[in-house]
Every structure is written in C-alpha cells, then in structure tokens.
Amino acid sequence: MNRGPLAKYFVLLVLMFFVNLIFVGCSGCKKDQDTIEIPKNLPVHKEKPNPENQEVVDQIVNSFPSPVEVAAIIKDMEVPFSKKYLADPGIIDNYDINFKKAFGLGVLSADLGYLNVYERTTLIVEYLSAIKRLADDLRVGQFFDFQAFKRLATSNENLDSLVFLSVNSFSNMNHHLQENARGNLSLLMVTGVWLEGLYLMTQVYKEHPNDKLKELIGDQKTIFTILYQGLKLYNNDDYFKKILDEFKKIDKIYSQVTITYEKVKPSYQSSQSDIPVYEQEERSVINITDQQINDLINITEQVRNKLINL
C-alpha cells in the first residue's frame, strides 16, 4: 500500500471531513442557540490537564484513516447500499452521560459518511438530527454552522467547501475540549468512528470478499495500536475500562497480524526551480490470514454491538 505525502494529506483532509460531519447538526445558527435547553445535571467529565495525554490524542486524530475512503472503496466494489450496516440513531435515547454521547457521536458520524457516499439524502437528514442532539448536549455546537453543513451534505456538491468547513470546525472543537480538560471526549469520538468503520469493513467483507478490503482491514492494526494505548491513559474510569475490556478481544487478533515496510523504487519530482526532488516512498506489506479476518468479523460485531448499547 503506497502512501505518498500528497495521498496522506488528502486522506487526512477527508478524515476531517468525515469526523466533522458528526457535528453538522450542531450550531443550528447562533440565533437558535439560546432556545436549546441543556440539562444542568449532566456530568461534564473533566479530566486533569495532562500535556502527554493531549499529545497522544492529537497523534491519534492526525494519523487516523478515513472511513469516507473506506465507504468509497466499498461503493467502487459495486456493493449495494444496505441500511443493516448502520447503527440505529434511536440509540442516543439511552445515552445519559457525556462519555456515551461522545462515543455515540463517533459511531453515527461513521454511518453518516457511508450515507453521504451513497447519497442517501433522506437518511442523512435523520442522522443529522440525532447528531445535533448529541453535539448540543456536549456543548460543542457553537463551532459548527448546521445550515451550511446540512446544505452541502444533502446536495452532494461542493466537497472542497465541505472539507474546509470540516477541518476548521474539528480543529476548533478539539482545541476547545483540550483547553477545557475534556480531551477524553475527543478520544471517545475517534474511538466510535474507528470501531464503526471497522464494523462496516468487516461486515461488507463477510458478504463481498475483496483483496483490497482485506488489506485495508489488516492495515487498521497500526491505528488500533495507537488508539488502544490512548484509551489506556484513562483506565481509571469505569466507562473506559469497559471499552478496554472489549478492545482486548480485538487486540488479541491484531497481535497476530504482521505489517512490514518495504522501500519502493525512488521517484523524482520537478520542483518550482526545475531541480529534480528525490522522493523515497514505502510500501506496507500486510500479512493477515483468512482465519484472522473471520475472527475479526465475529469479534468486531460482538464488541461494536455491546459498546453501542452500554
């Protein structure tokens, strides 16, 4: 799997687009903000400020693979759309603490990316409504222009504008959470996005085996390792402990998957001064067996279903 600098940058932009779609229902414009009632008895779940924790969370966010890319690959495989892959937006009625809301926000964002790629406008609006509730409850709605995001997402146009708004919104949200000692919520949102993305990949692979998708599933080991270590930073909290207990099952399988890196033939790119610039790229070689894929399919389904219903 070749990943040049431009490709990595593009994947990061698409990731930010995807992750920030989780908040497209947030601000509802400032005019409506005063009409939103946020229960005062909801715990905020602040953590003690820790620069090392913040650095780990930032590393996870910045290296995260794009579930939108996953959805695009699935669509290119000519796999038909299926609502059965998605979480029920009604699950948010059972989310009574901010930790659950942040995790659920990530899960629904992954589903929203899938819906957007398949241009399911009616369902997009339904998921946006659920996402709006969660974002408002988490008090991050002020960073997002709901009307603009909704218009762009449902029209399936102006992707560049959507990416720009998303990157900017996510950056502001992440800094706000970190500055207010709520980086644990950022981590939970990313965890929800990643897990739902892996669930989508493995469920599709079960019905439509494909070498490219198989490689992509194996390649998730790198991100999972970082994410797993990040979650351990908060293992003093009962909710994080429950997630870690489930992720141990995924770790047991991924620990058997090997990824090696090989140098590929160097390339030379012309610079503005017409002086050739040497670029050395790497190719990742992912070794994952059919048995390991089958184990991941089963375990991911169990873990995902359990965690979204905590």
How many CA within 13 A on the CB side of residue 52? 6
When pLDDT is averaged across residues 169-176 and rounded to a whole number, the result is 65
Residue-level pLDDT at 305: 97
Q: How confident is the model at residue 113 (pLDDT cuts 50, 70, 90)?
A: confident
Per 3-state DSSP, what percentage of the chain is helix, strand, and coil (rounded to 5)?
Answer: 65, 5, 25
CB 96 within 8 A of CB 104: no
Q: How confident is the model at residue 27 (pLDDT cuts 50, 70, 90)?
A: very low
Per residue in 278-291, pLDDT tens?
Answer: 555 677 788 999 99
Show me where the domains of the chain are located.
5-30+47-307
- pLDDT of residue 55 exceeding 50, the answer is yes
- pLDDT of residue 147 exceeding 70, the answer is yes
Q: What is the pTM of this model?
A: 0.75
Per residue in 67-98, pLDDT tens?
Answer: 566 787 888 889 999 999 999 999 999 999 99
Helices (H) and strands (E) in the chain, counts: 12, 4
Top mean-pLDDT range of 13-17, 102-106, 161-165: 102-106
Distances (CA, A) of 144 to 33, 105, 135, 170: 12, 14, 10, 9
Six-digit token string for 39: 């229960």
Six-digit token string for 193: 């996005």
Percentage of the chain lying above the pLDDT 70 cut: 61
Q: How confident is the model at residue 31 (pLDDT cuts 50, 70, 90)?
A: very low
Q: Give the whole-angstrom CA distance, residue 86 versus residue 200.
A: 8
**What's the angle, vertex CA 37, arms to CA 32 and CA 38, rounded to 5?**
120
Six-digit token string for 116: 């957007």
Residue-level pLDDT at 199: 96
Per residue in 179-210, pLDDT tens?
Answer: 776 778 888 988 998 999 999 999 999 999 98
CB 145 within 8 A of CB 21: no
Per residue in 230-271, pLDDT tens?
Answer: 899 898 999 999 999 999 999 999 999 998 887 766 665 554
197 vs 152, more confident: 197
Q: What is the mean pLDDT of the chain?
A: 74
Residue-level pLDDT at 228: 93
